[in-house]
Structure 1
């Protein structure tokens, strides 16, 4: 039996997954009311879990931060990322941080079930899109785009600014001060050789980095 926990801040997503997996007797949903990283950590401290379905965007600590902490504290737990962000935006970072798979939220129920089963056995679920990304990552001839050199935190701030969020809102989302967000913004502009927020937005649109639903 696969013991599954779902961490997503949208109840409709959690409920949708519950309805999908209730048809399969080899998957046991042990917790379906987790909407933040803090709640997830509380659950896995007291309950045995084999697989976690984790969203990228969460209130407080991001899914990326939560993933890293889970893998440090509970390396035996396998994590499947289920996100509205396209694979070329976060998949590589998530896999490097310890995720066993990455799916877009428009993936079919059959794909979701297959991914859960594969990673529950210690495997990795790689879609054709992610396989292509990994090949490009490993190809020494592949030219790095500016956004790929950003740290994980810089990248999160970059995307949030590109989404039109003010510094105060980003600070609240990432549990940081507005001053710290401003510092990250300056680093991003310098590393990417951009001048302002408008340049960030244009870059995100040009490289299809905006979230899709």
Structure 2
């Protein structure tokens, strides 16, 4: 049996260690590293050697949904599973729209999580039955109801700034982010909202936010 190397991401040390300990008891799965948030996770991923990421959804700094989007851009093909105590429809839909390989609640059994990790590693998608209703809501008509529903929390903040015509430098200063990070968010906004350029994006966002 091939061994899958997992990166565990959670801002709470107790949960991070507990999850790592549980998964380390599963045959065929080993914990390659852990991280406290999305930014640290990306630093770990740049070193390579990780097959699947298991991350909390709600974290200070870069949250799980944003991490999913960054992984899709920087590490295409790397599956990211979200584990959380929250089951809000918007959170589930944002995670799946960003490219998450799965969405599970934190009280999921160790066996179920291990199975989800294996499924994700094979290119499948796993959604906890308790949030399946929200996952079904991820449909073509959803953007018409809430065009910004597919954005992460940070992307939405950046979107509000773009709508005001601010530059990347100004946005970085306002939101206390690196300018390169802002640039990545703007690229994600262009992709997710289908805008041809930044001017069109700003106009589109202004209309959405002021309708």
TM-score, structure 2 length as denominator? 0.65
CA positional deviation for 1:133: 2.1
The residue that corresponds to 2:40 in the other structure is 39
Match of 1:12 among 11, 14, 23: 14
**Structure 2, gaps ≥5 residues long:** 158-171, 178-204
Aligned pairs for 1:158-173 (under 5 A) are: none
CA positional deviation for 1:51: 0.3
**More moved, 47-56 vs 91-100:** 47-56
1:63 and 1:123 mapped to 2: Cα distance?
A: 19
User: What is the CA deviation profile of residues 131-163 of structure 1, one whole-angstrom value per residue up to 9, with x for unaligned ones?
Assistant: 3223344496x9x87697584337977xxxxxx
The residue that corresponds to 2:32 in the other structure is 30
The residue that corresponds to 2:136 in the other structure is 135
CA positional deviation for 1:99: 0.4
The residue that corresponds to 1:166 in the other structure is none
The residue that corresponds to 1:122 in the other structure is 123
SS class of match (1:46): coil
Higher relative contact order (CA 8 A, sep 6+): 1
CA positional deviation for 1:14: 1.0
2:60 and 2:131 mapped to 1: Cα distance?
A: 26
RMSD: 3.3
Distance 1:2 1:135, change over 3 A: same
1:85 aligns with 2:102: no
Would you say the 8 A contact 1:118–1:125 is kept in 2? yes
CA positional deviation for 1:107: 1.9
Aligned pairs for 1:57-68 (under 5 A) are: 57-68=58-69
CA positional deviation for 1:110: 2.2
CA positional deviation for 1:87: 4.6
Distance 1:78 1:136, change over 3 A: closer
SS class of match (1:131): helix
The residue that corresponds to 1:72 in the other structure is 73
**Structure 1, gaps ≥5 residues long:** 158-170, 177-186, 194-213
1:88 and 1:22 mapped to 2: Cα distance?
A: 31
2:43 and 2:140 mapped to 1: Cα distance?
A: 40
Would you say the 8 A contact 1:150–1:191 is kept in 2? no
The residue that corresponds to 1:103 in the other structure is 104
1:60 and 1:146 mapped to 2: Cα distance?
A: 24
2:114 and 2:80 mapped to 1: Cα distance?
A: 14
